[in-house]
Amino acid sequence: MCGIAGILGSNWKRDHLDAMVRSQRHRGPDGEGIYVDPKSLAGLGHNRLSIIDLSEAGSQPMRSHSGRYVAVLNGEIYNYLELRIELEGEFRFRSRSDTEVLIAAYEKWGVACLHRLIGMFSFVVWDENEKTAFAARDRFGVKPFYYHTDAKGNFLFASEIKGLHAAGVERQANESAWATYLSSGFYDHSTETFWKDIYSLQGGHFLKWRAGHVQVSKWYDLAEAVGDNVDARDEDKVGLEYFDLMKESVNLRFRSDVPVGINLSGGLDSSTLLGLVHEVQGADSNVKAFTFATGAAEYDETPWVREMLARTKHELVVCTLRPEEVPSLAADIYVHQDEPFGGIPTLAYAKVFEGARKRGVIVLLDGNGMDEQWAGYDYYQAAANGHQAPTVQGVTNSPVRPECLSPEFRQLARLPDCPRPFNDSVRNLQYRDARFTKIPRAMRFNDRISMRSSTELREPFLDHRLFELAMRQPVGRKISNGITKRMLRDIVHDLLPERVSQSPKRALQTPQREWLRGPLRKWTSDMVECALSGPFASWLSRPNVESDLDSFLKNGSDNSFYVWQWISLGLASLPANIATRMSAGSK
C-alpha cells in the first residue's frame, strides 16, 4: 500500500508534482520516485510502503520490460504469484513485486486484465508511445483515487485530496455534497467529494486519458456479477465452497515480506477471522492481535477478545483511547481524512494502527464486509419482515437534523437514488450498503487511518468471490427465526466457541454520546461554535443548532451522529495552520 500522484498534460510544473508526493509521504515512508515523460506530457509520483519485494527492484514508478509502459500502483495484487506463472512464458521478470506482474498483465490483456486481479488497488499505466494513460480502481473501492482537471486542461490525480490541494487546486467547498451529508447523512456515495471540482473514481471503474479527453467506464458491478437468480444448490455444498474460499482469501492476504497482524473485536466476524488464521497457519500461529478499548465497561470488547485468545499463542495488544486525547486526535484525523469521518470509533480504530506500527507490524487484517454479505444489521431483519428499514444500526430516532440547516442550503442536497436491481428487499439493501453507503465510507475511513501510521490494512472478507457467493443465497439462509448471518454461523461453527458463534450482532461502539456530553462537553460546544461562526456559518440555523445541542447535552439522545456532523463542520472550519498544529500535538 502506497501513495500515487500525477499530472497529465502539456503545461504543468514539476514543483507541483514534487509537492503532491511530499504531501503523501505518510502513505509511503520507505521511498519516493518520480517519472517524467520525455516530452513532459506526463509526470507520475509514488510514495513507497515496502510490503512485497523490499529491494530496489520493487521501487516505483516502474517501467515495463518492453520500455513502453510506466506504472504506479497503490495496493496489492494478492494473486500475483499465480498470474506471474501464467505470464512467465512471455515476460522476463526482474523483481518479485506484484507491480511488475500488473504491468505485464496489462501489456498482455489490456483492460481485460482487471477481471483476473484479486486484490485492492488503484493504479495508473502511462503509455509512452501513444501518450495515453489508463487508471483503474478495485471492485469495492478499497484503495482511493481522486482527480481534477485544471483550467489549462491538465489532469491531476492523487491517492488523497490533500495531494491535489498541494498542487494548487483550490480548497473550495462543494456545497451540494455538504448539504447532502448534513441533511441526510449520505457521503462517499458518488463521484463527488466535499470539495468543488475534485472527484473520486468509483470502485469497479476505470479511466482513460488522451490529450485532455477523459473517459470513465464501469468494469465491475456487484449486482451484475451476482445476477437475478438465487443459489438453489444444496446448502452443505455451498457451505463447503464458501469455507474453502474464506481460507484461500485469508491465505492470500498473508503474502507479505513484512510482519502481519490481525485486528480483533469480540464479535462473530473477528472470531471467524481468527479461526481462519489458525486454519491456514496452524494452531501454533503467533501473529500479534490488536484491539482497542476506551475504558468504558459497557463498550468493552476485551473480555470477548481475551476469551477468543485464551488457548492460542497470540500476543494481545490493547490500544486505549482516552477522552483527553480526542481534541488533538480528531484534528489530526481530519487533516488525514480531508473530509468528514465516522466519529470517535474512527479515532479509537486509529489507535490500533498506531500501536501496530510501534510494534513493527506493518500489515493488519480485519473482518470488514461480513455484515453486508450475510445481512447482519438489524435493519435487514426489518426489511425481511416487510417493514421500512432504518438506515443506521441500533437507532430509532433520526440520526440527522435537517431542520438545523438554512432553508436555502438544505435545497442544495441531492439524495442518491440507489438502484434496486434485485427482486427482494434484503438483497437490495445489501447492494446499497456495499455500493453506496457502508462499505465505501468505511474503506475511506480505514485507508486514511491506516496510512496515517504507515500501515497496510487488508480485508479478506471483501474478496469479490466471497461477496458474490453470499449475495446469491436466498434470504432464509441469511436471516432465519430472528437470527442474522444464519448460514455463516453454521459454516464457521466448528471454528469458534459456542458462545461466540451464536452470539447476537453487537455494534462495535465507543462511548461517543457519553463523552460528548461529559468529559468532552466543552470541546463539543467549542467545535460547534466553530461551525456556527466559521466560513460555513450561513449553512446553519444558529437558534435550531443551539437548541438541539443544548437538549443533547442536558437530556441525551439515542444517537450523537448529528452532533458529530456539526463537529465535523467545526473541524473543517479550523484554519489550516491551527489544524496542523493541533494534529502535530497528537503524535
Residues annotated as part of the active site: 2
- Candidates 245, 230, 232, 235; CA nearest to 486 is 235
User: Where do we find the cell 430509532?
Assistant: 396
- Candidates 51, 112, 120, 113; CA nearest to 461 is 120
Residue 260 is inside which H or E element, if any? strand 260-263
Distance CA 459, CA 249 (A): 9
Distance CA 179, CA 531 (A): 14
What count of other Cβ atoms lies within 10 Å of the Cβ of residue 197? 15
Sheet arrangement for strand 62-63: 62-63, 69-77, 119-127, 132-137, 205-210, 213-218
Name 540's bridge partners. 405
- Candidates 138, 136, 113, 139; CA nearest to 124 is 136
Coil, helix or strand for 49? coil
- Candidates 295, 340, 333, 321; CA nearest to 585 is 333
Cell of 429: 439493501
Residue 57 is inside which H or E element, if any? none
**Which amino acid appears at position 420 of this protein?**
R
User: With contact defined as beta carbons under 8 Å apart, do 330 and 567 qualify?
Assistant: yes
User: With contact defined as beta carbons under 8 Å apart, do 415 and 181 qualify?
Assistant: no
| Rg over CA atoms, the chain | 23
Distance CA 374, CA 450 (A): 26
- Candidates 488, 506, 507; CA nearest to 272 is 488
Q: What is the SS3 assignment for 214-244?
A: EEEEECCCHHHHHCCCCCCCCHHHHHHHHHH
Distance CA 356, CA 277 (A): 18
User: Where do we find the cell 468509483?
Assistant: 202
- Preceding omega of 535 cis (within 30 degrees of 0): no
Distance of CA 96 to the CA centre of its chain: 27
Distance CA 279, CA 566 (A): 45
Q: What is the DSSP string of 104-134?
A: HHHHHHGGGGGGG--EEEEEEEEETTTTEEE
Residue 520 is inside which H or E element, if any? none
155-158 and 132-137 beta bridge pairing: unpaired
Distance CA 359, CA 289 (A): 11
Cell of 454: 504507515
> Which stretches of 233-301 are DSSP H helices?
235-252, 268-281
User: Where do we find the cell 454461523?
Assistant: 489
